[in-house]
């Protein structure tokens, strides 16, 4: 977008610089062509990006639907639950009994 504005501003600046009408017309045509090219390229890049994002989304959906991935996720979940329980139990074992002091332990 900035390129379009810059190209147009350049065309107008040259036109004001007291060039002949032919030179002004040529400069304006070049500026318009540059703006058109930038617009076309932007549209093309946008379309390519959209296609790639669609493809990535489909691949991600395939991965998350994979039974092996689901099995691995379940195993990881169970392992983390077990780890959490172990940590909780260990922290209970390290605390002094109610009413006990550090000296009696």
Is 19 domain-assigned? yes
Distance set, CA 92 to CA 81, 89, 98 (Å): 17, 5, 12
**What is the structure's pLDDT at 92?**
83
Predicted local distance difference test score (pLDDT) of residue 97: 58
* 56 domain residue, yes or no: yes
Distance CA 13, CA 18 (A): 10
Looking at residue 75, what is its pLDDT? 94
Which pLDDT score, from 0 to 100, does residue 20 have? 79
The answer to the question of residue 100 being in a domain is: no
Q: What 3-state class would DSSP assign to 100?
A: coil
Task: Evaluate if pTM is beyond 0.75.
Answer: no
Residue-number span of the structural domain to which 7 is assigned: 2-92
Q: Helix, strand, coil: what percent of the chain each, to 5?
A: 85, 0, 15
Report yes or no on 105 lying in a domain.
Answer: no
CB atoms within 10 A of CB 7: 19
| pLDDT at residue 69, rounded to an integer | 92
Distances (CA, A) of 45 to 25, 42, 49, 72, 96: 30, 5, 6, 37, 65
- One digit per residue, the tens of pLDDT, for the chain of length 105 reads 677 777 777 776 766 665 678 888 888 999 999 999 999 999 999 999 999 999 999 999 999 899 999 999 999 999 999 999 899 888 887 666 555 555 554
The answer to whether residue 99 sits within a structural domain is no
Q: Are 13 and 27 in contact (CB under 8 A)?
A: no
- How many domains is the chain built from? 1
What is the reported pLDDT for 91? 86
- Kindly state whether residue 27 falls inside one of the protein's structural domains: yes
Q: Is residue 101 part of a domain?
A: no
pLDDT of residue 15: 62
Residue 82 in any domain: the answer is yes
């Amino acid at each position: 977008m900035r390129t379009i504005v810059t190209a147009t501003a350049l065309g107008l600046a040259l036109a004001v610089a007291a060039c002949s009408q032919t030179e002004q017309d040529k400069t304006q045509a070049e500026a318009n062509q540059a703006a058109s090219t930038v617009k076309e390229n932007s549209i093309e890049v946008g379309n390519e990006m959209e296609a790639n994002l669609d493809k990535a989304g489909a691949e991600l959906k395939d991965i998350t639907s994979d039974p092996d991935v689901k099995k691995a996720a379940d195993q990881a979940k169970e392992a983390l639950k077990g780890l959490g329980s172990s940590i909780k139990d260990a922290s209970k074992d390290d605390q002094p009994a109610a009413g006990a002091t550090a000296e009696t332990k």
